[in-house]
Amino acid sequence: MNDSDDKIQIIQNYLQYLELECGLSANSLAAYRSDIIEFIRFFKIKSDYAISSRTINEYLTRLHNLNRKPGTIARKISSLRNFYKYLFENNLVRDNPFEYARVPKIMRYHPDYLTVEEVIAVLNQPKPDDRHGLRDRAILELIYGTGTRISELINLKISSIYDEIGFIKIVGKGNRERLVPYGRHALQAVERYLVEEREKIRPEKDGEILFLSNRRRRFSRVGLWKMIKKYARKAVIKKEITPHTFRHSFATHLIEGGADLRVVQELLGHASIATTQIYTRLDREYLLSVHREFHPREQAQKGGGK
Here the CATH number for the domain that contains residue 200 is 1.10.443.10
Q: What is the pLDDT of residue 6?
A: 75
Q: Tell me which of 7, 149, 198, 218 is the catalytic residue.
A: 149
Q: Tell me which of 247, 253, 262, 281 is the catalytic residue.
A: 247
Q: In terms of domains, do 73 and 142 share one?
A: no
Let me know if residue 286 belongs to a domain. yes
Q: In terms of domains, do 29 and 83 share one?
A: yes
Tens of pLDDT, residues 4-40: 667 788 889 999 888 877 767 777 888 889 999 888 8
Let me know if residue 111 belongs to a domain. no
Let me know if residue 48 belongs to a domain. yes
Q: Tell me which of 102, 169, 244, 286 is the catalytic residue.
A: 244
Dist. CA 273–CA 261, nearest whole Å: 8
291 is catalytic: no
Q: In terms of domains, do 199 and 296 share one?
A: no
Q: In terms of domains, do 90 and 153 share one?
A: no
Q: How many domains does the chain have?
A: 2
How many Cβ atoms from other residues are within 10 Å of residue 66's Cβ?
A: 9
Give yes or no for residue 47 having a pLDDT over 70.
yes
Q: In terms of domains, do 164 and 238 share one?
A: yes
Q: Tell me which of 135, 137, 262, 270 is the catalytic residue.
A: 270
- CA angle 237/227/176 to nearest 5° reads 105
110 is catalytic: no
Identify residue 11 by its one-letter amino acid code.
I
Average pLDDT in the 120-130 region? 94
**DSSP code string of 17-60:** HHHHTS---HHHHHHHHHHHHHHHHHTT--TT----HHHHHHHH
Query: Could you give the C-alpha distances from 283 to 71, 210, 270, in angstroms and in order?
Result: 11, 41, 24
279 is catalytic: yes
149 is catalytic: yes
Q: In terms of domains, do 225 and 272 share one?
A: no
Q: In terms of domains, do 188 and 266 share one?
A: no
How high does pLDDT run on average in the chain?
A: 81
Q: In terms of domains, do 95 and 158 share one?
A: no
For position 296, which CATH number holds?
1.10.150.130
Give yes or no for residue 109 having a pLDDT over 70.
no
244 is catalytic: yes
Q: Tell me which of 41, 173, 176, 230 is the catalytic residue.
A: 173
Tens of pLDDT, residues 52-83: 778 888 888 888 888 887 778 888 888 888 89
Stronger pLDDT, 120 or 242, i.e. the higher one: 120
Q: Tell me which of 32, 248, 279, 281 is the catalytic residue.
A: 279
162 is catalytic: no
Dist. CA 138–CA 61, nearest whole Å: 47
Domain that holds residue 201: 116-256
pTM over 0.95: no
Q: In terms of domains, do 90 and 180 share one?
A: no
